[in-house]
Chains A and B, each alone.
Chain A
Amino acid sequence: NAGVMQNPRHLVRRRGQEARLRCSPMKGHSHVYWYRQLPEEGLKFMVYLQKENIIDESGMPKERFSAEFPKEGPSILRIQQVVRGDSAAYFCASSPGNTIYFGEGSWLTVV
């Protein structure tokens, strides 16, 4: 089992562009979580998804951010019209239902 796979590991975007971060959960895991780690801060929950369903998006900013976990393929966190404040590490995690396993993160830099 390859673990939770995230790509890209590093992404640079100019202000106003779109950023797409992908997450492939561990085999057999149907729960996916996204967390954001801002510089000098801890991890903040963003969204919890199961296949084709958003279960809890209470941590997602109201605008520009969206997430999906389609029936086939990876989960995608999409950030539209990025701003400098979106620069952060974005961690995906997956779970078969109990223990949560994290990916290595995607570092987004907005210039």
Chain B
Amino acid sequence: AQRVTQPEKLLSVFKGAPVELKCNYSYSGSPELFWYVQYSRQRLQLLLRHISRESIKGFTADLNKGETSFHLKKPFAQEEDSAMYYCALRWDGSARQLTFGSGTQLTVLP
């Protein structure tokens, strides 16, 4: 069965410091990986997907199939980056739902 693991429930960094949110997955096929961000009690917004290989709000994520990881990185954190971040996987089954990790609450300190 597919699974997404985000080992850090809480992560605090200072403004301007680099940040890395970890995500590991387990799935034997070819997954699609996503990062979603949720600001306080708002809707989840798609931040990144590995297929597009784009950078949004300074965040990047590289799919490492050898390590089965999809870590989210930003070189210089900003206070407005404080939010809950979810890594998600979509597998090539018949249904198209996402499997989410448990999330990492990022706090960027001034």
Contact A42–B44 (Cβ < 8 Å): no
Contact A102 B44 (CB under 8 A): yes
Q: How many of B's residues come within 8 Å of A, CB to CB?
A: 20
Q: Is the CB of B43 within 8 A of A43?
A: no
In the bound complex, residues from chain B placing their C-beta under 8 Å from that of A93 are 44
User: Total number of A-B contacts with CB less than 8 angstroms?
Assistant: 52
Interface string of B91-110 (1 = CB under 8 A from A): 00011111111110000000
Interface SS, B side: loop
Q: Are A55 and B43 in contact (CB-based, < 8 A)?
A: no
Contacts A41-B102, A42-B86, A42-B103; is A104 near B42 (CB within 8 Å)? yes
Which chain A residue has the least Cβ–Cβ distance from B46? A99
Asked if A48 meets B100 with Cβ closer than 8 Å, knowing A4-B43, A42-B86, A103-B43, the reply is: no
Counting CB contacts under 8 A, is B26 at the interface? no
Q: Within 8 Å of chain A (Cβ to Cβ): is B45?
A: yes
Report whether B96 and A48 are in contact in the complex, using a CB–CB cutoff of 8 Å: yes
Q: Known contacts A41-B102, A43-B86: does B95 contact A48 (CB below 8 Å)?
A: yes
CB distance from B61 to the nearest CB of A (A): 16
- Which residues of chain A (86-100) have a CB below 8 Å from chain B? 91, 93, 95, 97-100
Q: Does A33 contact B (CB under 8 A)?
A: yes
Choose from A33, A95, A97, A104 the contact partner of B43 (Cβ within 8 Å): A104
Q: Does A44 have its Cβ within 8 Å of any Cβ on chain B? A: yes
Q: Number of A interface residues at 8 Å Cβ cutoff, please give it.
A: 26
> Contact mask A68-100 → B, CB, 8 Å, 1/0?
000000000000000000000001010101111
Q: When chains A and B are docked, how far (Å) is the Cα of A105 from the Cα of B109?
A: 27
B97 touches A45 (CB 8 A): yes
Inter-chain CA distance A44–B100, complex, in Å, is 7
